[in-house]
C-alpha cells in the first residue's frame, strides 16, 4: 500500500521502490499527538498511511494556525522545505489516530541524487506542495470566506465532520464563530 501511495504521485519501478522500502520505519500516533515540533531536531520524511494530520504554526497570540491538512495515503511536506539546519520550521500533529512510515531524510535525499525515478517522485512531491500553497494563496487573496469554505469542502470532503472546527477555521483564515455562521448560510 505504500507503493500505491508513491505511485499515485509518480510512478516508479519495483527496483526503485526496493531502494526506498529498506528505509521505512513504522509509526503509530494517538489523536492529538504533536510529533513534529517547531525548532526541534528532525531528520525524517513522513508517509501517512491512514488518519488525518495538520501542519501548523503558533501565531503571536498563541493560537495554532493550520497550514495544511494531510489525509490518508499522502506525503507530509518534504524535509527540505520543512526544516532549516535540521531544525523544524513548523509543527505537525495528528488529529485522529494515525499510522505512518518514516524515512531518514538524508538517506532519501541521497536516493534522489542517485536514482532518477526517486528524484522525479521527490520533485513531484515538492511541486504538489507548492501548487497547494499557491492555490491557497490565491484563494486567500481573491475569494470570500464562504467561497473558501466551499473550496475546502471540495478539496477535503468529509473532513468537516471529523476534525475540530477550530482547525478548519484557522485554515480558512477566519474565527470559529464565523465558520459556524458560514456553515449555517451554506446549508440553505
131 binds, among a second copy, DNA, none (CB under 5 to 8 A by kind): a second copy
Q: Are 111 and 17 in contact (CB under 8 A)?
A: no
d(CA 42, CA 47) in angstroms, rounded, equals 15
**Residue 29 in grid coordinates:** 500516533
Over the window 115 to 144, marking each residue x when it contacts DNA by CB under 7 A and - when it does not, the resulting string is -----------------------------x
Q: In the block, which residue shows the cell 508513491? A: 6
Beta strand extents in the chain (DSSP E only)? 25-29, 34-36, 44-50, 53-58, 64-70, 74-75, 83-84, 87-88, 91-94, 98-104
Cα gap 92→36, rounded to integer Å: 5
Given 130, 138, 177, 186, the residue binding DNA (CB under 7 A): 177
| Of 70 and 101, CB closest to a second copy | 70
Q: Is there binding between residue 173 and DNA (CB under 7 A)?
A: yes
CB of 16 to a second copy, least distance (A): 16
- Grid coordinates representing 67 are 497550514
Our CB check for a second copy shows the closer of 59 and 180 to be 59
Applying CB under 8 A, which residues contact a second copy? 57, 59-61, 63, 65-67, 80-81, 84, 89-90, 113, 119, 123, 126-127, 129-131, 133-134, 136-138, 140-143, 170-173
72 Cβ neighbours under 8 A, 6+ residues apart: 48, 49, 50, 51, 52
Look at residue 127 and give the partner it binds from a second copy, DNA, none, a contact being a CB closer than 5 to 8 Å depending on partner kind. a second copy
> What is the spatial distance between Cα 169 and Cα 103, in angstroms, rounded to a whole number?
32
Please report, as residue ranges, which positions from 43 to 102 form the binding site for DNA (by CB under 7 A): none
How near is the Cβ of 41 to DNA at its closest, in Å?
28
What are phi and psi for residue 96, nearest 5 degrees? Answer: -135, 175
178 binds DNA (CB under 7 A): yes
* Residue 161 beta carbon to a second copy: minimum distance, rounded to whole angstroms: 22
Binding site for DNA (CB under 7 A): 144-146, 164-166, 173-184
Amino acid at each position: 500500500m505504500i507503493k500505491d501511495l508513491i505511485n499515485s504521485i509518480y510512478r516508479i519501478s519495483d527496483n526503485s521502490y526496493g531502494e526506498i522500502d529498506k528505509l521505512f520505519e513504522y509509526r503509530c500516533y494517538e489523536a492529538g499527538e504533536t510529533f513534529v515540533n517547531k525548532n526541534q531536531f528532525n531528520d525524517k520524511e513522513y508517509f501517512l498511511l491512514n488518519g488525518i494530520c495538520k501542519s501548523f504554526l503558533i501565531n503571536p497570540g498563541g493560537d495554532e494556525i493550520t497550514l495544511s491538512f494531510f489525509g490518508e495515503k499522502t506525503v507530509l511536506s518534504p524535509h527540505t522545505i520543512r526544516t532549516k539546519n535540521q531544525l523544524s520550521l513548523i509543527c505537525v500533529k495528528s488529529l485522529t489516530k494515525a499510522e505512518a512510515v518514516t524515512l531518514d531524510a538524508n538517506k532519501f535525499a541521497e536516493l534522489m541524487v542517485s536514482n532518477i525515478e526517486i528524484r522525479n517522485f521527490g520533485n513531484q512531491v515538492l511541486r504538489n506542495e507548492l501548487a497547494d500553497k499557491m492555490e491557497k494563496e490565491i484563494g486567500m487573496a481573491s475569494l470570500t470566506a464562504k467561497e473558501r469554505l466551499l473550496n475546502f469542502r471540495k478539496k477535503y470532503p468529509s473532513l468537516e465532520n471529523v476534525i475540530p472546527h477550530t482547525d478548519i477555521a484557522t485554515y480558512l483564515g477566519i474565527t470559529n464563530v464565523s465558520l459556524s455562521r458560514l456553515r449555517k448560510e451554506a446549508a440553505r
